[in-house]
Structure 1
Amino acid sequence: MLTSWKVRIMVFPARVDVHQHIVPPAWARALDDRGMDSGGWAIPAWSASEAIAMMDRQGIATGVLSVTSPGVHLGDDADARTLARTVNEYGAEMVKDRPDRFGSFASLPLPDVDGALREAEYALDVLGADGVVLMSNAHGRYLGDPDFEPLWAELDARGAVVFVHPAQPPMPLLPGTPAPLADYVFDTTRTALNLALTGVLSRHPNVKTILSHGGGFLPYAAYRFTGLTSTVVDPDRDADDMLRDLKRFYFDTALSASPSALPALLAFAEPGHVLYGSDWPFAPRNAGSYYDHFLETYPDFSPGQAEATDRGSAETLFPRLAR
């Protein structure tokens, strides 16, 4: 069964990649003008043709594109609204040209909540975005911040898909350690726990929230979080209730399909909640090949789990991609 699936991937690209990045020229210029990058990680070149060539090599039928950290809010609300609109229209053009190969997560200019609400409405209703991307923190404010409640309510009313991408946490980089190496994993876990502790997940059950990179270390430490929450943080909160909230998350496999991380992720995630991710073009090509090979040769998938990870789970979240 494993061999036939591998052959099918190579002959007919099947995967849906929910963690694939786009580098709109206006966004790259805005970062360069401010001397910014992605947490100490250089911004690579990007083109639609190079993206499709990569997808063909890696058995990816469709990549759902998103702008990575630091997102579109670079310090000023008005500039962030303009940049978000420009970025989202650029992504929408890519999808319009090749709807079979591309999808799009729209960028929202948090912490500007009014701007984020307006851009979500425009991107979802006018541009037809497949969901939205939020950074794990917006200038140090995490996604469970009470001021962000109107945005979660709107996304819940729409049953939206929300892709949470890590950002640099509000602390200095470790010397010689770019944020994607360590801090991004930490910040994904931090914002996920914040969303659960503040009740955002239970209040807005119609939102489907995808955590990048296997959820950071959430799957590994979930039972620590639930046990300490019910005994130390909030004795009135039942551990099983907290665990149910953490299990609402979806997870992508970008840079996380490894001998230690993948078994933990599959043991924790609910059925249908693990999705393929590449992190291209920010992930080094040799790293992507390593994780893909591990996925394709992993011997302990339960029946149907490999196919669900590659495509089936994404078809449920994005019905327009269903075959």
Structure 2
Amino acid sequence: MKVIAIEEHLFPRDILEKAGLDLGLRAGAKAAELDDVGEGRLRVMDEAGIDMQVLSVLGSIVQDLEPAASASVARELNDRLASVVAEHPDRFAGFALLPMTDPAAAADELARCVEESGFLGAMIHGQTHGAFLDHPSVRPILATAERLDVPIYLHPAPPPPAVFDAYYSGLPDEVSACLSTSGWGWHAEAGMHVVRMVVGGVFEELPGLKLIAGHMGEGIPFHLQRMEDMLTPVLRGHERTVAQTLRDNLWLTTSGYNSDAPLRCAIDTFGVDRILFSVDHPFGDSAKATAHLRSAPVTADERERIAHGNAESLLRL
């Protein structure tokens, strides 16, 4: 069975150090693996049975830089990613990193990466200085993605300081750091971010925009009917309901979720054609992820679609 994983991260150490950036405690512990796009990464892929990774820079720290620095570092990272893909085109593909503090530059960088380097879309890491993707300033980026017919992968990012203080302070440092990110907060905020885009009219204005959410949909499948019942009646000027919009414009990945119940919920609410396999390398365990893919309670045809067919269709691989 062919397997394509589409939320797989890197960050070249030399560019990190040159830019004077800090990955932080959690990502910093994985610095060597984020830097490795050679034999070590390929060995992990081969042992797990993964044929291709769609690579993305772990870029929230770049996304938040002031505009000129963000644009410069993002371009350098995208050029490096393009060279990695060119060296192993049968094993790697790429999502662009965008300098979100300069939306015009970000739109241009997305177009450059797709049209010149063959990137498959872009990964955006949460809100930027308080601006979510429903903010009018971001429309040029999203319009460019729609025009190019490539998806935006919305990845979680650390919460703004005010949110951290309100929701996650007063706990032991290690606990609050985890609770605010991978232990809960990332998923709550990323799911809310997607729904903000719906109720904020992004997909009414850009009906062809394709959005990907990781971690089995960031809780959206579980809450979909509740949102349909509560949010849809208060929307004005929308041609589609909340659930219809999400089912039309959203794809989900399995990144970090290797158990049956979330997968069944995602399939039951969105359909198997909207589910794509991911690991979240190096934070996820590739062998564990592919083992669950092979044992999950789905039909052989459904397994093939999740493993590679849906990615090939969405990303035109």
The alignment's TM-score, normalised by the length of structure 2, stands at 0.87
Match of 1:29 in 2: 17
Amino acid aligned to 1:44: A
Distance 1:190 1:125 in 2: 31
Aligned counterparts, 1:104-143, within 5 A: 104-143=94-133
Distance 1:143 1:289 in 2: 34
Q: How big is the shift at 1:59? A: 1.3
Query: For each residue in 1:221-278, what CA deviation from the matched residue of structure 2 results, as whole angstroms up to 9, or x when unmatched?
Result: 01111211134x436657x621111112111101123132111111112341110001
Match of 1:202 in 2: 204
Match of 1:3 in 2: none
Distance 1:188 1:292 in 2: 24
Q: How big is the shift at 1:305? A: 0.9
Question: Using a 3 Å threshold, how does the CA distance of structure 1 residues 42 and 199 change in structure 2: closer, same or farther?
Answer: farther
Contact 1:229–1:235, Cα closer than 8 Å, also in 2: no
Aligned counterpart for 1:215 among listed residues 214, 217, 236: 217
Match of 1:309 in 2: 306
Match of 1:44 in 2: 31
Residue 150 (structure 2) pairs with residue 165 (structure 1): no
Distance 2:203 2:98 in 1: 19
Question: Using a 3 Å threshold, how does the CA distance of structure 1 residues 17 and 99 change in structure 2: closer, same or farther?
Answer: same
Amino acid aligned to 1:307: E
Distance 1:225 1:160 in 2: 27
Distance 1:85 1:140 in 2: 23
SS in 2 for 1:75: coil
Distance 1:27 1:228 in 2: 46
SS in 1 for 2:55: strand
Query: For each residue in 1:160-191, what CA deviation from the matched residue of structure 2 results, as whole angstroms up to 9, or x when unmatched?
Result: 12111111122217342321222211122011
Match of 2:52 in 1: 62
Amino acid aligned to 1:55: M
Q: How big is the shift at 1:205? A: 2.8
Q: How big is the shift at 1:154? A: 1.5
Match of 1:296 in 2: 294
Query: For each residue in 1:74-111, what CA deviation from the matched residue of structure 2 results, as whole angstroms up to 9, or x when unmatched?
Result: 33111100110011001000110110000000000113
Aligned counterpart for 2:3 among listed residues 6, 15, 18: 15
Residue 199 (structure 2) pairs with residue 193 (structure 1): no
Amino acid aligned to 1:313: N
Contact 2:114–2:121, Cα closer than 8 Å, also in 1: yes
Distance 2:54 2:25 in 1: 19
Could you say which structure has the higher helix fraction? 2
Contact 1:71–1:135, Cα closer than 8 Å, also in 2: no
Amino acid aligned to 2:261: S
Greater mean alpha carbon deviation, residues 104-113 or residues 121-130: 121-130
Unaligned runs of 5+ in 2: none
Please tell me the root mean square deviation across aligned C-alpha atoms, in Å: 2.2
SS in 2 for 1:168: coil
Distance 1:83 1:51 in 2: 24
